Amino acid sequence: MSELKLNQKLALRYVRARLNILSLVSPRKAAIKAFRFFCTPRQRVTKKGSVLFEGGERLSFPLDKHTIRGHRWLPDTPPLKRVLIAHGFESASRNFDHYISTFLKKGYEVVAFDAPAHGRSGGRRILLPDYIKVLRTIEQNYGPFNSYMGHSFGGLALSLFLENTPHNADTRLVLVAPAVETTTAVAAFAGLLHLSPEVRKEMDEYVQEISGHPFAWYSLRRALHHIQASIFYLQDEEDRITPSKEARVVQQDNHPNVRFLFTKGLGHRKIYKDAEIMNKIVSFL
């Protein structure tokens, strides 16, 4: 909390107080409100991308009364591969526009969308099932894809999507600082808001009711056991958003199809913007 700005601290204290008061009356209602807050981005990327990014073919489709928007970029010759990029929480597809020209030079087609409640897409909240549904719709409408790249929350969503999507060992998946266990994020969130064990239990039961799975099911580590694709997993040792200790646990599972690269000093977002890392990602895909 020490790293939060003053207005964020004040907002957090306000939400914490309201939830704690509500929990005295109804732990169930407090849990639902807490979950909705958990799924609501506090900021949205609105800046325009590069000329190349904005020049891509504009794509869109409806999802649960909202419009999901993205772009597609085509090489000058028939594409050798199709690449799908999935951004993270409070990010947007435009944050990856520096990859587009390199992919196009290799003869790859590139597709990138803004997730619900992010960038130019509609909605106020994002749930993992919704992100998975978005990825499935993109695959059906603009795929099939040979290669996938996901950062943070997008990496987890891609993994949950891919475990139930036909693919093989020739499929390529890059996971950059992916979220590993949703339970970890929920625990940190609950700690910030001082949620009682009863409210946390109600949150898990609510998620089970609306999605068919508890928080623990939304696990990268679990999903990787069902993915045949060749995977390049990148993680920075000093990442404060997705802890490297969780990546080390995944590494200990000894998946023969997963190659790991640990960096130091790049953190959660600089890692995919680093020129050397970008070259490694593009070469792998």
Question: Per-residue pLDDT tens for 107-144?
Answer: 999 999 999 999 999 999 999 999 999 999 999 999 99
Residue range 208-212: average pLDDT? Answer: 95
Query: Does one domain contain both 177 and 190?
Result: no
- Structural domain of 22: 1-38+182-213
What tokens appear for 22 in the block? 């509500």
Q: Do strands 57-63 and 258-263 pair parallel, antiparallel, or not at all (unpaired)?
A: unpaired
Query: Does one domain contain both 249 and 113?
Result: yes
Query: Does one domain contain both 196 and 176?
Result: no
Query: Does one domain contain both 204 and 267?
Result: no
Read out DSSP for 214-249?
-GGGSBHHHHHTT--SEEEEEEETT-SSS-HHHHHH
Query: Does one domain contain both 32 and 109?
Result: no
Residue 22 has pLDDT above 90, yes or no: no
Q: Pick from 172, 190, 213: which residue ends a domain?
A: 213
Query: Does one domain contain both 106 and 172?
Result: yes
Report the domain count for the chain: 2
Query: Does one domain contain both 257 and 200?
Result: no
Query: Does one domain contain both 258 and 242?
Result: yes
Q: Pick from 172, 198, 213: which residue ends a domain?
A: 213
To 10 degrees, what angle do helices 197-211 and 182-193 make? 140
Across-strand partners of 109? 82
Query: Does one domain contain both 101 and 29?
Result: no
In the chain, what is the straight-line distance between the N-terminal and C-terminal CA atoms, in Å?
38
Residue range 142-159: average pLDDT? Answer: 97
Per-residue confidence band for 26, with pLDDT thresholds at 50, 70 and 90? confident
In whole angstroms, what is the distance from residue 245 CA to residue 239 CA?
A: 10
- The CATH code of the domain that includes 150 is 3.40.50.1820
Query: Does one domain contain both 18 and 120?
Result: no
Return the DSSP state at 181: B
**Is residue 169 classed as helix, strand or coil in its secondary structure?**
coil
What tokens appear for 266 in the block? 């790049």
Which of 165-174, 187-196, 201-210 bottoms out in mean pLDDT, i.e. has the lowest?
Answer: 187-196
Query: Does one domain contain both 11 and 25?
Result: yes
Query: Does one domain contain both 4 and 73?
Result: no
Please give the model's pTM, rounded to 2 decimal places.
Answer: 0.92
